[in-house]
Amino acid sequence: MKRQRAADHGSASVEMVILAPVLVVLMLFVVFVGRAGGAVEQVRHAADAGARAASLVARPFMDSAARQAVVEDLGANGSNCASTSVSVGLFDSVNVDSVTVTVTCTSNTDGLRLLAASGRNLTASSTEVIDRYRAG
């Protein structure tokens, strides 16, 4: 006694044709989420490095020291940023002076055109107390 399986021929091929694009889009989504999460950490770390560098130099050099530290940190960590901006703010108080560095980054979406993903703006700030003995 033989069973007839004529209706099952080619069903695996049809399933693969339907599921392959879904799996590719799912993999691209995982890459997008991973890049976004990595970029958030990179921007936070760069803001910390910029604030630390600015707190160690004299006031006229704080802006350039912070920008240089941010660019070097993002470059050393394999930045996922398409564009980056850095702003430096000073807070003067009677007892404590501090510097705040804010880094804004647009996340990189290269290779993710199939998802039609746009770059997200990521922002991180870090504040450091100005070292009076080193900064002058």
Q: How remote is the C-alpha of 46 from its chain's centroid?
A: 10
Question: Which amino acid would we find at residue 2?
Answer: K
What is the pLDDT averaged over residues 38-61? 89
Confidence of residue 91 (pLDDT cuts 50, 70, 90): confident
Confidence of residue 29 (pLDDT cuts 50, 70, 90): confident
Say what angle helices 11-55 and 62-76 make with each other, to 10 degrees.
150
**What pLDDT sits at residue 40?**
81
Average pLDDT, the chain: 81
The token duo for 130 is 């100005």
pTM over 0.75: no
The CA distance from 83 to 68, in Å, is 15
Look at 32 and 113; give whichever has higher pLDDT. 32
**What pLDDT sits at residue 44?**
92
Cβ neighbour number for residue 50 with a 10 Å cutoff: 34
**What pLDDT sits at residue 136?**
57
- Reported in sequence order, the residue ranges of 22-135 that DSSP labels E, i.e. its strands, are 81-91, 98-107, 121-129
pLDDT in tens, 65-76: 999 999 999 888
**What pLDDT sits at residue 70?**
92
CA angle in degrees (0–180, nearest 5) for 38-40-97: 135
Let me know how long the chain is. 136
Would you say residue 52 has pLDDT above 90? yes
The CA distance from 17 to 58, in Å, is 64
Cβ within 8 Å of residue 106, ≥6 positions away? 81, 82, 83, 84, 119, 120, 121, 122
